[in-house]
Amino acid sequence: MENIQSTLRSFLKYFIFKVYCLFELIVDRVVCNIVKVKTMKGNKPLKLRLKEVNYNNIDIHFKYLSLSHPNLIERFAFQQWKSRFIIDTINNDQKWIFNDLNESKKDYGMKLDIGPFQFSRWSRRNEFEISSYELDGTSLLYRNNRFEIGDIILCNRSDDSDGIYTTLVEGFQNFSHAAMFTILEKDNKKFPAIVEVQDDGVFAVPLRVYLSKKFCTYVEIYRHKQITPQIQKNMSLESLKIIHEKHGFDIMMDESQSVYLSCALTVSQLYQRSGMSKFLGHSRYSLKTLKNLQILGVESCTNQDLLMPDDYSKMEDLSLIGVIDNNCLNEIIARRLMKERMQEVWQTKILNPKNFPILFPVIKFGVQQVQKRTGVLGSLIARAAGFTIESFPSGPSAFIALSPTVVARVEKASRRISNGLVKMEANFLHHTPWEEISKHPEVRSLVLNAMNDFEKLFD
């Protein structure tokens, strides 16, 4: 009898201990928002939401966020894990991740490459109003993340040519694009948006649209540690102003003026105009590409620091606070392989203008006419290219004239690499370190063959 009582007491102690641990887990993850259960869309009871969370996997997600400034190796390992995690959770019918993927696949009828986003137009649609999102205090909750005004968005776009211009910079650049989250106001309504520079000016894109798979494959969200409510208020006002100003894209990343902007400089300018210090870049063009930069007309800024999207991910005043993964590991790997080979070519081979397309001189002449900012011919050429005189990109005419050819060839190469990777063993891509993937003979052969057309521009 005593043995039975002792056994019962031990069992009760163990049971109480497990209940206490569970209580601590709930407090730690739910009340303290480490696991952001509130961000899961819907009105399910809390206990039902908790059942959908695999805590072991969630731990990896938040351990990654706790790095604050993950490096290239850590980021790729996380992307591999996230892809495996998504597959597992879909197979196990964990609806919160399934709902997130469905949200990423929504098509709102907007295309980045066929024209600008006019706020005056898309603000007429109720689905983009703030009332269509879940709110918690000053935070907007969307796709299992918390957004606050001033959050810096670093991303890889869904274009097959994503990030090709970062290949001229020293070292491999994780991100191709930078933008800023804000909330715009119009007619007593509020609209969550991402403000960014595009080829023909600065625009606001609805948050839902920007984070969809149609626009981005992978996104990281960074938050400034010193931002204040007043600064955030200023940012909303300055965001509304800047999208109604005349701006163009700046290839040279010239900080001495504020009309022509790169994506990273657009974010920096919004911070400056709102009362914060400007951001300083620490990236540079690779000196190994100097001869090619001279041919492209970019040599004047080879000895100066450049502000690139990746610089934001390394700044001490910023911390990683969220991730949006649209389940595009194959495309991410293909485009990274393409960019690594592209960078290798820039640094080991020399462009030969004799290998440029026959129409290159004609296109270059047209660019020069537009850049003179005078005359009917320049205006007509700008309009034919989808720009105005004021919004036409600023930069060397040779660089701009060659860009369409480079983009077309590397996009084709990227698709070929992606299609080739699909035929490979899935476990290889999901579990193998990057160095082993990139140096694998079959992968290397696939990349070299795919990039052949691009390399024909060189000696």
- The per-residue pLDDT for range 381-426, each reduced to its tens digit, is 888 887 888 888 889 999 999 999 999 999 999 999 999 999 888 7
Q: What is the pLDDT of residue 93?
A: 59
pLDDT at 112: 64
Last residue of a domain, one of 292, 325, 358: 325
Containing domain of residue 139, as a range? 110-325
141 shares its domain with 260: yes
d(CA 227, CA 244): 25
Q: Mind giving me the DSSP string for 15-63?
A: HHHHHHHHHHHHIIIIIT-SS-GGGSSS---HHHHHHT--HHHHHHHHH
Q: Residue 255: which residues within 8 A CB-CB, separation 6 or more? A: 265, 307
Q: What is the pLDDT of residues 16-74, one digit of tens each?
A: 334 434 433 343 344 334 333 333 333 443 333 333 434 455 678 888 999 999 999 99
Does 69 map to a domain? no
* 364 in a structural domain: yes
Residues 6+ apart with CB under 8 A from 333: 421, 429, 437
Do 278 and 371 lie in one domain? The reply is no
Convert 209-223 to b/e letters by CB count within 10 Å (16 or more is b): bbbbbbbbbbbbbbb
Choose one of 325, 346, 364: the last residue of a domain: 325
* 162-165: long-range pairs with CB below 8 Å, 24+: 162/217, 162/335, 163/335, 163/339, 164/338, 164/339, 164/342, 164/406, 164/407, 164/410, 165/251
Q: Indicate if 191 and 308 belong to the same structural domain.
A: yes
Q: Within 349-451, where are the H helices?
A: 360-371, 376-384, 397-422, 426-431, 434-439, 441-450
> Three-state SS for 11?
helix
Contact between 147 and 221 under an 8 Å Cβ cutoff? The reply is yes
307 in the same domain as 240 = yes
Q: What is the pLDDT of residue 375?
A: 76
In the chain (459 residues long), the average pLDDT of successive 10-residue segments reads 46 40 40 36 37 53 90 93 82 68 88 70 93 92 95 96 93 95 95 93 94 96 96 97 93 82 95 96 92 89 88 97 95 97 97 96 92 82 83 90 96 97 88 94 97 96
Length of the chain (residues): 459
In a domain? residue 96? no
Asked, for residue 348, whether it belongs to a domain, the answer is: yes
Instruction: Answer yes or no: do 357 and 390 share one domain.
Output: yes
* Those residues with Cβ within 8 angstroms of residue 458's Cβ, 6 or more apart along the chain or in another chain: 345, 349, 350, 351, 352, 355
Residue 166 inside a domain? The answer is: yes
Strand partners, 306: 283
Count structural domains, the chain: 2
**Rounded to an integer, what is the distance from CA 400 to the centroid of its chain?**
23
Same domain, 353 and 374: yes
Residue after which a domain boundary falls, among 290, 325, 360: 325
140 and 190 belong to one structural domain: yes
DSSP-assigned states of every residue in 63-97: HHHHTSS--HHHHHHHHHHHHHHHHHHHHTT-HHH
For the CA atoms of 82, 88, 94, 97, the dihedral, rounded to the nearest 10 degrees, stands at 20
Are residues 304 and 352 both part of a single domain? no
The answer to whether residue 205 sits within a structural domain is yes
Q: Would you say residue 413 lies in a domain?
A: yes
* Residue 45 resides in a domain: no
Number of continuous H segments (helices) and E segments (strands) in the chain: 19, 11
Do 132 and 157 fall within a single domain?
yes
Same structural domain for residues 314 and 406?
A: no
Same domain, 239 and 293: yes
**pTM of the entire structure?**
0.85
- Separation CA 315–CA 307 (nearest Å): 11
Pairing of strands 216-224, 177-186: unpaired
Task: Give the helix/strand (H/E) hosting 145.
Answer: strand 145-147
Shared domain for 134 and 216, answered yes or no, is yes
Domain harbouring 312, CATH code: 3.90.1720.10
Tokens, residue 419: 């299609």
